């Protein structure tokens, strides 16, 4: 039997069809504390998400900006045109800024990386392969710089350890002592994926 909480707070129980209803109800009751904690996390993420206005604002490295800061003519665009122009701003800035941040981290840490590419993944913020190639999600441009740096360090540390073992996390901690705080902050941005 398994239990999860959906994106709108509904409880999802998976059990064999022959499993008695009273046992399912008891299982859900026993997990009520866990359910409540999941719903609280979900409400915090939803409240955080509502702080953003992606239709009328641009967010670069955690800073909220007016489209007019990039081009005054954006103020005269209709909603669809503005959306396209905002996407262009994100593309330009992610292509310029994210590789630059990654190179700074590589220089500072001395960790090996052969290439840096941007992706439009809908699942992950970054990846790192055995050939020392790093991929970063272009949506990282929205996040505060310190979280972007954490993601880069996390991926580079896969060049030392291609897993999430205690040794991997020890490596991350050696380059980013407050990684736990930043990892938790990153989770709040999951709605962007």
For tokens 């490596």, what's the residue?
171
pLDDT of 45 > 90? The answer is: no
Give the model's confidence band at 32: pLDDT under 50 very low, under 70 low, under 90 confident, else very high: very high
- In this predicted structure, which of 78-92, 123-137, 148-162, 175-189 has the lowest mean pLDDT? 78-92
Question: What angle do helix axes 79-109 and 145-157 make, rounded to 10 degrees?
Answer: 50
The tens digit of pLDDT for each residue in 73-113 reads: 888 889 899 999 999 999 999 999 999 999 999 999 999 99
**CA separation for the pair 163, 155 (Å, rounded):** 10
Cα distances (angstroms) measured from residue 138 to each of 12, 30, 87, 141: 33, 42, 11, 6
Does residue 182 contact residue 146 with C-beta atoms inside 8 Å? yes
Q: How many CA atoms lie within 13 A of 154 on its CB side?
A: 19
Domains of the chain, by residue range, sit at 2-49, 90-192
pTM confidence score = 0.85
The arrangement of secondary structure in 90-192, i.e. its CATH architecture, is 2-Layer Sandwich (3.30)
Q: Which helix (H) or strand (E) holds 3?
A: strand 2-5
User: Quick one: angle between helices 32-49 and 21-30, nearest 10?
Assistant: 60
What is the pLDDT averaged over residues 38-52? 91
């Amino acid at each position: 039997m398994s239990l999860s909480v959906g994106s709108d707070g509904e409880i999802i129980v998976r059990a064999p069809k022959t499993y008695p209803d009273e046992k399912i109800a008891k299982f859900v009751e026993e997990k009520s504390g866990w359910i409540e904690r999941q719903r609280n996390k979900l409400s915090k993420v939803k409240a955080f998400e509502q702080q953003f206005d992606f239709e009328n604002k641009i967010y670069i490295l955690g800073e909220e900006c007016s489209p007019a800061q990039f081009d005054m003519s954006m103020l005269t665009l209709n909603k669809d045109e503005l959306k396209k122009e905002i996407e262009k701003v994100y593309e330009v800035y992610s292509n310029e800024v994210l590789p630059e941040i990654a190179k700074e981290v590589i220089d500072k840490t001395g960790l090996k990386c052969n290439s840096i590419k941007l992706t439009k993944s809908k699942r992950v913020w970054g990846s790192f392969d055995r050939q020392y190639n790093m991929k970063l999600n272009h949506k990282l441009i929205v996040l505060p710089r310190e979280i972007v740096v954490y993601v880069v360090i996390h991926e580079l540390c896969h060049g030392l350890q291609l897993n999430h073992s205690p040794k991997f996390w020890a490596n991350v901690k050696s380059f980013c002592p407050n990684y736990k705080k930043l990892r938790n902050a990153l989770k709040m941005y999951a709605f962007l994926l």
